[in-house]
Amino acid sequence: MTVDYYLYGGDHSLYTGKARAYMRFKGLNWEEVTATRELYKSIILPNVGAAIVPVLATADGRYIQDTTDIIDYLEAAHPAVSVYPDTPVQKLVALMLELYGDEWLVIPAMHYRWSVLDQQREFIFLEFGKMSAPDAARDEQLRIGERTSTMFRGSVTALGITEQTMPAIEQVYLEFLDQLDAHFSQYDYLLGSRPGIGDFGLIGPLYAHLGRDPVPKALMQERAPNVYAWVQRMNNPVPLAGDFLADDEIPVTLLPILRTMCRDQLPDVLDVIRHNAAWLEQNPGGNIPRYLGMHPFRTGSASGERVIHSYAQWMFQRPWAHYHSLAGAQRLAADKLLQAIGGYEALNTDIGHWVQRKAGQLELVEGKR
């Protein structure tokens, strides 16, 4: 291995964009490898237990899936210039925004890829085709892309994207773009001049889909040029540069974004936790299925049904555990922020059944806090 790490992924893959931006910022000695059909068979499936990207391969033969685990593994190996703020409230906000990017902004990302497919069909199918079969002819790639994207295309309804919810999904996304644009007109990154874990969470949906697919990219360039400029900075960072704001400051420009997250996403996550707990009580010691049916959700003024994604609990446990590790003045500062954004109750909800990831599979299992 001439490099320290390989990252198997793809240009149009949401989560590859998160890991890529992180690895560039850390200035690591690594290479990105397109996850072709052959690599899915020979490397990804046998080592990860599922057909999923991105996957990090290390020089000592480890394969790590899940961008959060990839980032935490690399942070431990390369601690200089951490992407985790070390002050209490900034760390809480960064972890919450990672959760928002990873698990909620997937909704507008998938909407603006698949609901407007008639306006960007060739681009999208070609992207999928090029990844599976980089050496095939263009027509063949289009055919392959149409086939290999079927699962993603078909997941739109499960994500809650329907004729009823689409107007609200768009409205909430446009408000988000305006709010984030106002923020990035003043700051290079979410919490200062250094990208943190929250920025890496947001870049997933905001690059591969919303900042790259033709229709939403044009929308972002037109409506939120400062967000588009941040997408470019995230993809071409000055490695290891910058600082988080002094004195644990949270820019007020982030508050409306955090409020929307608490209003829309946190009720969904708390319900996921209830479903995971009920499942574990019925199936002690089992592997929690990735999807546990459908449940009601709300976004903006719309309500609908979406899949119960058991994994969301694992992501939520990160800000939750951080918050519950705080005491004294630090806890009070976090409480003040949570009260201001409507997240106090959610972060103070007890988690009866802790979950954890297990190597070689995507299904969570019950774990110890």
Examine residue 33 and tell whether it contacts ligand GSH (CB under 6 A). Answer: no
Half-sphere exposure of 270 (CA within 13 A, CB side): 15
In whole angstroms, how close is the CB of 193 to ligand GSH at the nearest point? 26
Distance between CA 147 and CA 220 in Å, rounded? 29
| Rounded-to-integer distance, Cα 28 and Cα 6, Å | 11
Residues 40-69, interacting with ligand GSH (CB under 6 A): 50, 52-53, 66-68
Long-range CB pairs of 115-123 (<8 Å, 24+ gap) are 115/156, 115/161, 115/166, 116/215, 116/216, 117/153, 119/214, 119/215, 120/213, 120/214, 120/215, 123/213, 123/214
Give the nearer residue to ligand GSH in terms of CB position, either 131 or 338: 131
Q: How far is the CB of 328 from ligand GSH (least distance, A)?
A: 33
3-state secondary structure 305-359: EEEEECCHHHHHHHHHHHHHCCCHHHHHHHHHHHHHHCCHHHHCCCCCCCEECCC
Which residue from 5, 7, 8, 14 is in contact with ligand GSH, where contact means CB under 6 A? Answer: 14
Q: CB-wise, 13 or 179, nearer to ligand GSH? A: 13
Measured in Å, how far apart are the chain's first and last C-alpha atoms? 37
CB of 151 to ligand GSH, least distance (A): 7
Q: How far is the CB of 6 from ligand GSH (least distance, A)?
A: 15
Site string for ligand GSH, 67-86 (x = CB under 6 A): xx------------------
Task: Tell me which of 8, 13, 89, 216 binds ligand GSH, using CB under 6 A.
Answer: 13
Residue type at position 366:
E
> Which residue type sits at 342?
G
DSSP states of 80-142 as a string?
SS-SS-SSHHHHHHHHHHHHHHHHTTHHHHHHHHHTTGGGTHHHHHHHHHHHH-TTS-HHHHH
365 three-class SS: strand
Distance CA 96, CA 322 (A): 10
* Size of interface with ligand GSH, in residues (CB under 6 A): 9
Per-residue mark of binding to ligand GSH, 151-170 (x: CB under 6 A)? --------------------
Residue 183, amino acid: H
For ligand GSH, the binding residue among 5, 6, 8, 15 (CB under 6 A) is 15
Q: Judged by CB, which is closer to ligand GSH: 67, or 115? A: 67
Contact of 181 with 174, CB cutoff 8 Å? no
Shortest approach of ligand GSH to residue 110 CB, angstroms? Answer: 10
Q: CA-to-CA distance for 363 and 93, rounded, in angstroms? A: 27
Smallest distance, ligand GSH to C-beta of residue 42, A = 16
Nearer to ligand GSH, 68 or 132 (CB): 68
Rounded to a whole number of angstroms, the minimum distance from the CB of residue 343 to ligand GSH is 22
Instruction: Please list the residues that pair with 33 across neighbouring strands.
Output: 8
Q: For residue 343, which phi and psi values (nearest 5 degrees)?
A: -115, 5
Q: Which of these segments, 10-18, 176-184, 226-234, 258-266, binds ligand GSH (CB under 6 A)?
A: 10-18
Which CB sits closer to ligand GSH, 294 or 302?
A: 294
Q: How far is the CB of 248 from ligand GSH (least distance, A)?
A: 27
Smallest separation (angstroms) from ligand GSH to the CB of 177: 21
Looking at the Cβ atoms of 51 and 240, the one nearer to ligand GSH is 51
| Residues in contact with ligand GSH by the rule CB under 6 A | 13-15, 50, 52-53, 66-68
